[in-house]
Copies of this chain bind each other. A is one copy, B any other.
């Protein structure tokens, strides 16, 4: 196939007209196809249907004797703390188990650091304009938390090994108003890359200008491998070894392990941070839902049970990611108009179109019935400086719908690219 950059105006015009024609054909079919968000499919959810019935009427006591039906217990029942601790390779007293939303744990954590400060420090909001480093493209809901709290977002370039650590080190060590950084260390949202060991080590060895700088380590896809398990170094242990045991908050979730809307989530940090946080939780909540925790503990049994279960998810997801890869390679590979990632886990493929084409592609897809995450959403304030990045979320649609959606997507990419070259 010929590169678009090598086509002349006549070739491009012919191509554009064909593509326009093709897209309007899709439009007429009136399909509604959805690739917007990282949502598990029905087939994946069904893997856990036995959890709906896994408690008997007389099964409500946790290992420590706690009645999971009644009040009590702010940090989670022992069984589920143990599972999270084993998965994250930390100690159970470094884990606080929450309800069903790790986003809520992160929001809450930022909220209290803004209003009350980190541990006994000055509230962030009283120190001036707070800044967070935002490796980009990144997760739009991290950025939404910053937006809500009027936190200035400093974009940091993402590479194959993680964020640009020279830039991270520079900002963190020189600017005391840099109070946090958002990280998705494994199968990063949306690029799908895994932070290298060296990147993780450099994180742990950060020497912040601000004592109250914190790493928000959103390990959202820590168990979500498509193939062999990718291991990343243990950030909690490394921070401890580097003499800054309280510098990191790690978050993990079973949203994409069991039921996306009804799972359990956790926050992990130094024992000292956990103790500090539990004091606040006493004023804040009666505690997390222990019956949901117990159901998870009964169903998965242990960390190995979770990892085995994740293989079933992988079996469902692999063909979808392969379909994305195969389709993009077949349709777009040699045209010089796009690049994309081929992640070994997680929920997304990150797609880079020609500069200035992302919004156009998303809009063309929408017209033809395919919903995508809004272009720009992967950047702070929704502003992709190059207007090139698109997040593809292939997990929710069944294979046949995904195939159809990807076909339309590729047509839209080609059309936007042809139009760009035509416009000169």
Contact = CB atoms under 8 A, between A and B. Distances in A.
Interface string A61-76: 0000001111111000
Which of A37, A68, A145, A148 has the most chain B CB atoms closer than 10 A to its own CB?
A148
A157 interface: no
Nearest to A287: B261
A300 B107 CA distance: 33
A150 to B, nearest CB: 9
Contact of A70 (B40, B50, B69, B71): B40
B57 A45 contact: no
Oligomer copy total = 2
B292 A69 contact: no
Contact of A42 (B67, B72, B148): B67
Given A52-B291, A285-B104, A285-B107, A70 B99 contact: no
Interface of A: 37, 39-40, 42, 45, 48-50, 52-53, 55-60, 67-73, 99-101, 103-104, 107, 111, 114-116, 125, 141, 144-145, 147-149, 255, 259-262, 280, 282-292
A255 B58 CA distance: 19
A48 B71 contact: no
A153 to B, nearest CB: 14
B55 A69 contact: no
8 contacts: A53-B57, A70-B259, A70-B260, A70-B261, A71-B261, A104-B285, A261-B287, A262-B292
Contacts of A42: 67
A261 B289 contact: yes
Contacts of A49: 57-58, 60
B125 A115 contact: yes
Contacts of A141: 283
B69 A255 contact: no
Contacts of A149: 115
Nearest to A262: B291
B45 A260 contact: no
